[in-house]
Chain A
């Protein structure tokens, strides 16, 4: 189990995580989250002491596997009601900043 001691959980780790999940943080938030995450992880670390040798993982609340359905077409949701929720639209498109660098 990685060491999650508060002194070892660094500001730069918090900044890296924030960049992975695309959330802009202030310096104050970085410091607050550094302390809080380290504290939470210190409580969670007890998990590493459990012997799970040969135990398969459970990845779902139910015990369902390979649920299959006929591939049938269904009526689509009304386009106008969907586009009405867009932060920015143009005609029948969602408008965003250019994704590819044009230079």
Chain B
């Protein structure tokens, strides 16, 4: 294959790849080899991958090519290479959640989302880097190494799913899976100039997702186009007997509803999402995006007010640490992962296990959660946060009684330089516009919305009603067609 032909393969989408594999103009082996070569030449710079599974990927590619050549490839993603965030269990493939605690974990089972991807025919190229146990907004809290932003290698890719976002932006895979507890799919998608979708809480099974905050966690796709996000969501969505928090609702055909158009679409732009904390370059970019939507028939309403929305961040920093302090109690050095031995007692072994196994951010959040849940503080913190959560949900319900979707910036800034933010609460402020959707359990998507300071991508966010991902995908698809922002960094990482 010529270099030009290989470069052509790297910019392929899931939709186009599926067509070309079926018309025989490319093979899955060609595609898989092109991405593995790309990882080989770029990942010293980007460092998106914790584990690369070349051998099994090529074996899967050959199986896919056999099916395709016989005309038996009925699964929609047959032969298409993707990457998986290292927080999802993959049978026989090391899964670390970015933590020393799970340095050597080889899961005995696949997460439901992973097995569904396999059933849909997708090929896994490997596991992507992340903030430890998904706690962070920069992927600097990985126990292994920081991941770089392909648009500027000195900047962070966002987080916690920074590896999955960077891998798509750097053309190391066509698409990837991430998880989003407070913005961990949408904020890195914004920073890396790709599409990131957090489905409705309960749309995708969380079985086999290493738990962070169980009332908020949700798995979703990173892609270069909205059409691809619809395809990937289709593959992983649906009820699962192994996750009782999954909705037992039929999954609509998302791809069939992409062409909804903007005419008469009622778009709310609540003022609390456009207030303080947002950098001027982001604000200007988002305003231009709203103008474009309005000039093509969308009815932008700036009047709604959601006074409890600024409380979403404090609510989150009670609920998420509380839930994580309970969830991470399982890492006791007994059944799997790292286990210190040789102490005086079972307790001293356990305390040493957690001292060495957990990083700083994780320890801080466990301590904070234990504080919020402890006797005498529970009512003031955890219970109060759950009540304010109800108020936030009600405000979303009120807006959706009169509007189809909400539009907002994804993040208040463009990607910042590695090491630039050291104060914990400053880092948490990255998620002020993404957290409200998690608190209310609503679907939300970040798509490329233009460019801000120093040519860095800015994400445009849409939030939809419960289980109405189709509306989000429709408006996002319409905007994407109109704006046609490039999703491939001009720097051409690794070209030297």
Contact = CB atoms under 8 A, between A and B. Distances in A.
Interface stretch (B100-108, B119-127, B480-488): B100-108
B481 to A, nearest CB: 31
Contact of A21 (B201, B325, B338, B385): B325
Contacts of B423: 39
A89 B423 CA distance: 41
A14 interface: yes
A12 B311 CA distance: 30
B339 interface: yes
A61 B425 contact: no
Given A57-B389, A94-B335, A78 B108 contact: yes
Contacts of A48: 380, 384
Please tell me the size bucket of the interface on A. 35 or more
B41 interface: no
Interface in B425-468: 425, 428, 438, 440-441, 466
Contact of B355 (A17, A24, A36, A99): A24
B282 to A, nearest CB: 22
B334 A81 contact: no
A85 B325 CA distance: 23
B19 interface: no
Contacts of A60: 201, 215, 245, 441
A61 B441 contact: yes
A33 B368 CA distance: 9
Interface stretch (B153-161, B286-294, B369-377): B369-377
B474 interface: no
B333 A52 contact: no
A64 B332 CA distance: 31
Contact of B329 (A21, A77, A82): A21
Contacts of A78: 108
Interface residues of B, number: 76
Nearest to B357: A23
A9 B247 CA distance: 42
A33 B314 CA distance: 18
Contacts of B236: none
B370 A84 contact: no
Nearest to B91: A81
Interface stretch (B45-53, B252-260, B345-353, B403-411): B345-353
Contacts of A98: 345-346
Question: Which of the listed residues B314, B440, B441 has the most CB atoms from chain A within 10 Å of its own CB?
Answer: B314
Contacts of A57: 383, 386-387, 389-390
A87 B358 CA distance: 16
Interface stretch (B80-88, B138-146, B224-232, B359-367): B359-367
A62 B245 contact: yes
A25 B355 contact: yes
Contacts of B247: 62, 64
Contact of A39 (B200, B335, B424): B424
A43 B216 CA distance: 21
A37 B367 contact: yes
B205 to A, nearest CB: 12
Nearest to B336: A85
Given A17-B370, A64-B245, A96-B349, A52 B364 contact: no
Contacts of B104: 85
- For the complex of A and B, the 3 pairs showing the least CB-CB separation, nearest first, are A87-B339, A61-B201, A57-B386
17 contacts: A21-B325, A23-B351, A23-B354, A24-B348, A40-B368, A40-B424, A47-B314, A47-B318, A47-B385, A59-B215, A61-B202, A61-B218, A61-B245, A63-B466, A64-B247, A85-B108, A87-B341
Interface of B: 104-106, 108-109, 200-202, 215-216, 218, 241, 244-245, 247-248, 308, 311, 313-315, 317-318, 325, 329, 332-339, 341, 343, 345-352, 354-355, 358, 363-364, 366-368, 370-371, 374, 376-377, 380-381, 383-391, 393, 423-425, 428, 438, 440-441, 466
